[in-house]
């Protein structure tokens, strides 16, 4: 279902002001985009069967619905917020699985520009989340860029728009963040 960007913006502003029904109206308008993002993540986790694409989108919706009054300017800001929520869903799910296993090794994984996470064991998401929390303390903007790129699937141009930065700044910060993450994760991230 396609919609006028101004209609989406108006609905998101209403939701930001506390109108819970506005989220219910905007979700069908952005559902296909959210499913596409979730599907990209799911295809890289082929061995993970307990959290499917629809489940990830629906869990993100439930968490978004539980957090009213989010200050959103437009569709890209909503997608950035959804990226954070999806990250939290994946991390919570990975931690629950890890706890159920009572330990176990974490597989090596790669970050690529064209794929969110390639050949990843979902348990590795928790290590990345811990590293992103450390990066957030050091440089919150770089952490946001990584989160929105790899967990949210936003393009570099979308990230630049959300954060009001130039495309060159986003690219530079992403390169720096990826290098730091590679060092932090002891070379487990392939750049």
Segment 26-63, tens digit of pLDDT: 899 989 888 887 776 666 555 555 677 888 888 988 88
* Helices within 46-166 (DSSP H only): 53-65, 75-101, 124-138, 140-146, 156-163
pLDDT of 154 strictly over 60: yes
Segment 85-106, tens digit of pLDDT: 887 887 777 777 766 554 444 4
- 8 A C-beta contact, residue 131 and residue 177: no
Does the CA dihedral 67-96-143-121 come out positive or negative? Answer: negative
Question: Quick one: which of 92, 79, 179 has its CA closest to 129?
Answer: 92
- Which has more confidence, 157 or 89? 157
pLDDT of 107 strictly over 80: no
- Give the per-residue pLDDT at 91: 75
| Distance separating alpha carbons of residues 26 and 6, to the nearest angstrom | 12
- Give the per-residue pLDDT at 105: 47
Coil, strand, or helix at residue 109? strand
Mean pLDDT of the chain: 77
Coil, strand, or helix at residue 167? helix
Residue 100 contacts by C-beta under 8 Å, 6 or more apart in sequence? none
Question: Which pTM value belongs to this model?
Answer: 0.66
- 8 A C-beta contact, residue 18 and residue 65: no
- Give the per-residue pLDDT at 142: 93
DSSP code, position 31: H
Segment 161-184, tens digit of pLDDT: 888 999 999 999 999 998 898 888
- 8 A C-beta contact, residue 78 and residue 30: yes
| 66: confidence class by pLDDT, cuts 50, 70, 90 | confident
| Distance separating alpha carbons of residues 127 and 71, to the nearest angstrom | 29
- Give the per-residue pLDDT at 139: 94
């Amino acid at each position: 279902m396609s919609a006028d960007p101004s209609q989406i913006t108006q609905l998101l502003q209403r939701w930001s002001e506390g109108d819970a029904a506005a989220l219910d109206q905007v979700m069908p308008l952005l559902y296909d985009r959210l499913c596409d993002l979730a599907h990209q993540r799911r295809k890289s986790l082929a061995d993970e069967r307990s959290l499917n694409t629809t489940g990830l989108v629906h869990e993100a919706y439930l968490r978004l619905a539980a957090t009213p009054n989010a200050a959103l300017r437009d569709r890209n800001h909503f997608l950035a917020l959804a990226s954070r929520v999806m990250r939290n869903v994946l991390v919570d799910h990975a931690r629950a699985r890890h706890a159920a296993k009572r330990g176990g090794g974490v597989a090596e994984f790669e970050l690529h520009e064209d794929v969110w996470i390639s050949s990843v064991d979902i348990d590795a998401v928790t290590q990345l989340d811990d590293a992103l929390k450390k990066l957030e303390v050091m440089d919150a903007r770089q952490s946001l860029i990584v989160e929105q790129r790899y967990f949210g699937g936003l393009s570099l141009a979308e990230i630049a728009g959300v954060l009001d930065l130039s495309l060159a700044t986003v690219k530079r910060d992403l390169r720096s963040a990826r290098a730091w993450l590679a060092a932090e994760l002891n070379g487990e991230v392939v750049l």
